[in-house]
């Protein structure tokens, strides 16, 4: 069932997902190593086995709660407003002082209401040119759709190297969407560093399965992943939600991509 991700996410692949999906080869197991908003998972047809992983435990907790405790998560939003005071109150509230369901609601609220969909040091997003990204009247609808899509998906919270090694087999297709080159700190300090690109390239070079890696088109990216097929593609993105610009990215694979139609 093709649908949208319920999350806004810095670097999310909402506009590039279709190009990634049409290049997917046949596979049995599908694994997103850096899931984020999981735009590709939500838009692609279901695979026999599906796994999404992210090192951010607040994100994976949200997905688990939507999968197992949908009604309770929706109930958290019953009396909320899209307000700077509520946003700042959530920022001041330590996540570890909340239940898992409260944590999920807090994270969803902050992710949907922050400027530029930033999750690391977020600020309240407000503009005179558009409605809030968080539509409180459609919370149940949006999360119900996500619940249905996640029903048969495994949700992991592990470092990328462990996930690549644990699920690698000839029938696996990995979608790999790490932080952009030059933007390694955008998701938090120390989660992914410049040196990790070389580690990632070495692990992908040893893959028994197949992978599609998406990154920004830079000299460093092309040099680090020079042993694989590199295909330039165009996409559009915006931080403010108003001024969109076309940018160059690359899709990197260890197979010759076909077009599944």
Angle of CA points 196, 198, 201, to nearest 5°: 110
Residue 181 is assigned to a ligand binding site: no
Query: 9: annotated binding-site residue?
Result: yes
CB 179 within 8 A of CB 220: no
Nearest to 126 by CA among 85, 69, 65, 177: 85
Closest CA to 85 of 104, 127, 113: 113
Q: How far is Cα of residue 187 from the mean position of the Cα atoms in its chain?
A: 11
50 bridge partner residues: 30, 153
CA distance 253 to 23: 10
13 is an annotated ligand-binding site residue: yes
Residues 6+ apart with CB under 8 A from 181: 194, 197, 215, 216, 218, 220, 221
- Nearest by Cα to 11 from 214, 252, 217, 188: 214
177 is in an annotated binding site: yes
Give me the torsion for CA of 123, 126, 130, 135, rounded to 10°. Answer: 70
Binding-site annotation, residues: 9, 13, 54, 177
Binding-site annotation, residues for S-adenosyl-L-methionine: 9, 13, 54, 177
């Amino acid at each position: 069932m093709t649908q949208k991700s319920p999350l806004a996410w810095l670097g999310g692949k909402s506009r590039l997902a279709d190009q990634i999906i049409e290049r997917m080869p046949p596979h049995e197991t599908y694994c997103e190593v850096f899931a984020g908003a999981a735009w590709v998972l939500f838009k692609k047809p279901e695979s026999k086995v599906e796994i999404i992983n992210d090192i951010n435990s607040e994100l994976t907790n949200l997905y688990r709660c939507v999968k197992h405790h949908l009604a309770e998560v929706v109930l958290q939003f019953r009396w909320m407003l899209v307000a700077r005071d509520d946003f700042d109150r959530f920022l001041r509230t330590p996540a570890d002082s909340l239940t898992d369901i409260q944590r999920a609601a807090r994270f969803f609220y902050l992710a949907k209401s922050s400027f530029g969909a930033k999750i690391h040091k977020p600020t309240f997003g407000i503009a005179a040119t558009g409605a809030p990204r968080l539509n409180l009247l459609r919370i149940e609808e949006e999360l119900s759709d996500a619940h249905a899509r996640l029903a048969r998906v495994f949700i992991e919270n592990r470092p990328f190297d462990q996930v690549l090694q644990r699920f690698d087999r000839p029938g696996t297709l990995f979608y790999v969407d790490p932080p952009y080159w030059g933007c390694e700190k955008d998701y938090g300090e120390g989660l992914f560093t410049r040196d990790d690109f070389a580690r990632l390239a070495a692990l992908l070079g040893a893959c028994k399965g197949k992978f599609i890696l998406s990154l920004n088109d830079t000299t460093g990216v092309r040099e680090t992943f020079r042993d694989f097929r590199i295909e330039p593609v165009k996409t559009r993105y915006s931080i403010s939600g108003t001024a969109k610009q076309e940018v160059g990215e690359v899709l990197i694979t260890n197979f010759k991509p076909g077009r599944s139609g």
